[in-house]
Amino acid sequence: MKGRGAWIQGVLVALSLPCAGGDLPASSSSGEKELIAQSEFVKALSQHFESLEPVEGIETRFAELRADLDTVLASATQGKLETEKLGALEREIRMQSDRAEDYRREYVRWVWLAAKGERHPELRMRHGMTYREVVIRRVTEVGLEIRHSSGTARLHHGDLPDEWQERFRWDEKEAQQSLAAEERADRAMEILQRYAVERGVDPVVAREEALTRLALAKLESSAPIVPAKLEPSEPLKLAELELAELEPATSVGAARSQGAKKSR
């Protein structure tokens, strides 16, 4: 990675690089990932800003910057991507401090996601090849994925001009790790599909089953269910029975003899 000075210069290039023919609007609807990245970047930038001491005479401007950061953060909750406004705030705050590394991680993620959908009339590679009517599909650890007038392409960051390198702050080590992981996944999928053909199973079905198993394997097991503790019930008490008034019992024989006398 380059030094701090080079990275700060890269930040300046990134936020000032024009997107010819298709600038992202200052306030536009965006996807969930972009909005999350914007919120995280604003929070990191705000934390850095609070650590700065305003120079005498610009206290009022500092208060305005703080209010503007709060406004951009609120925009994310409303589904608005404030790309231009946030870029302008970052440039002004950076002028007050050289510690841009304090929010580098959040900045890079925001820049990558905010670039989605950008349009450029052409993109000239280092080796001379030129792509026309370019639309950025996404920025990855490896480079750019684009649509162009003749189809789609995946561009390695090392083949892109210096201004793109400075803008997106790629890291070659991360790029190689990402490519190695893709190669491993491709080999595993190739083996799976070959095995599926040998068994007479549709390779597409086999692939979907494998992806489902991987997804299930990543799910965390749910917390064990703990039985509720039962409070001990109070001991049962026998009901107090009232004494019944019982008449003296008479024998069956005596009752019969008395009946016979009455019949006479």
pLDDT of residue 238: 59
| Model confidence pLDDT, tens digit, residues 10-64 | 444 444 444 433 334 433 445 888 889 999 999 999 999 988 887 777 888 888 9
pLDDT greater than 90 at residue 239: no
82 or 208, higher pLDDT: 82
DSSP per-residue codes, the chain:
---HHHHHHHHHHHHH---TT-PPPSSEE--HHHHHHHHHHHHHHHHHHHT--PPTT-HHHHHHHHHHHHHHHHHHHTTEE-HHHHHHHHHHHHHT-S-GGGGHHHHHHHHHHHTTT-EEEEEE-TTS-EEEEEEEEEE-SSEEEEEETTEEEEEEGGGS-HHHHHHHT--HHHHHHHHHHHHHHHHHHHHHHHHHHHHT--HHHHHHHHHHHHHHHHSPPPPPPPPPPPPPPPPP-PPPPPPP-PPPP--HHHHHHHHHHHH-
pLDDT at 152: 94
Q: What is the mean pLDDT of the chain?
A: 74
pLDDT tens for 66-117 read: 999 999 989 888 888 888 899 888 888 888 776 777 888 888 889 898 899 9
pLDDT score of 167:
87
- 141 vs 6, 177, 216, CA distance in Å? 19, 9, 26
pTM across the whole model = 0.53
Please answer whether residues 37 and 99 qualify as being in contact, where contact means their C-beta atoms are separated by less than 8 angstroms. Answer: no
Token couple for 168: 């997106």
pLDDT digits (tens, 9 = 90+) for 150-195: 999 999 988 999 899 888 888 778 767 766 776 777 677 777 777 7
Dihedral sign, CA of 32, 13, 43, 4? positive
Question: When comparing pLDDT for 210 and 8, which is higher?
Answer: 210
Q: For residues 146 and 162, what is the distance between their CA atoms, to the nearest angstrom?
A: 18
pLDDT at 27: 39
Q: How high is the pLDDT of residue 255?
A: 52
